[in-house]
Amino acid sequence: MRRNTAITATVLAATALTVGLTACGSDSGSGSGSGGKNASGPLVVAASPTPHAQILDYVRDHLAKKAGLDLQVKEFSDYVLPNTATEQGEVGANFFQHKPYLDDFNKKNGTHIVPVVNVELEPLGVYSHRIKAIGDLKDGASVAVPNDTTNEARALKLLADNGLITLKAGTDQTATPADVTGNPKHLKFKELEAAQLPRSLDDVDAGVINGNFAIQGHLDPAKDALVLEKADGNPYANFLAVKKGNEKDPRVEKLAELLNSPEVKTYIQNTFKGSVIPAFGAPAS
């Protein structure tokens, strides 16, 4: 996302997606936007597959009908198209991201997406197919990190918190490898798209991977991570988001209430067993 060419390619893909959705002519497309054009129609929510779509599927299958909500879930495998689809009105909401990422995305892309309600936290972790403990990283080891601005900073902070590097003061949420002021093991950073990180573990000594992509890559954060982020005071809770102005759509309000329900809390705890943690409430301002 730091690379303009990558953004351009993704925007083109989003445009193609828009055309495809329009061509389908389905009832869900005409009612997917949450701007009040069809507030009695279905609400289509864009989500990455794990755990976001899983949580939404649970709400759809067990809670939505009783609440009078026609919920439809559309899965996306990257971190860009859910926001562009929401901005363009092809979906009514999305669920996949945290506040630092959204703030950076809106600034760089001129979009107007806003958070509605926090739902869960996926602790970022360090994983490896080559070592059993974080201290086993050798001099000159290669470490893969996400290449989007906020998640890269989050990954570098996790490494710093575990004594592998030091960062320039004040760069916790903006750090890049250029902000590494201490690197006693001379770690070499390989910047990759977040979704590719689990597949990179055969090619690097370690990788810092978002919780949802770790789960999709058949990793168990609670068991397989060499180190995990701490949950206390973590600003990276994932939330339901909409295009600005659509926060009060009745369908969105119903979904927000259901996503913060006791039933969803129990579902997250029983299903993910610490790999995903309930984090309900209002998003950070």
Q: Read off the pTM.
A: 0.73
pLDDT per residue over 51-94, tens digit each? 999 999 999 999 999 999 999 999 999 889 999 999 999 999 99
pLDDT per residue over 92-108, tens digit each? 999 999 999 999 999 99
Lowest-pLDDT choice from 9-23, 144-158, 250-264: 9-23
Q: Which residue has the higher pLDDT, 148 or 240?
A: 240
Residues 97 and 107 in one domain: yes
Residues 109 and 136 in one domain: no
Q: Which candidate, 264, 215, 257, places its Cα nearest to that of 51?
A: 215
Torsions phi, psi for 209 (to 5 deg)? -125, 135
pLDDT per residue over 160-216, tens digit each? 999 999 999 999 889 999 999 999 999 999 999 999 999 999 999 999 999 889 988
Residues 118 and 131 in one domain: no
Helix (H) or strand (E) holding 241: strand 238-243
Could you list the beta-strand ranges (E) of 36-134.
43-47, 71-75, 93-98, 113-121, 125-127
Lowest-pLDDT choice from 81-95, 115-129, 229-243: 229-243
The tally of domains found in the chain comes to 2
- C-alpha distances (whole Å) from 221 to each of 126, 217, 224, 249 are 9, 11, 5, 35
In terms of residue numbers, what domain contains 206? 125-228
The DSSP call for residue 121 is E
Question: What pLDDT does 38 receive?
Answer: 64
Question: What pLDDT does 33 receive?
Answer: 53
CATH number of the domain where residue 212 is located: 3.40.190.10
Distance CA 66, CA 223 (A): 36
Tokens of 81: 């198209």
Residues 148 and 43 in one domain: no
Residues 67 and 165 in one domain: no
Residues 10 and 64 in one domain: yes
Tokens of 207: 């990788």
- Quickly tell me which residue has 């969105």 as its tokens: 252
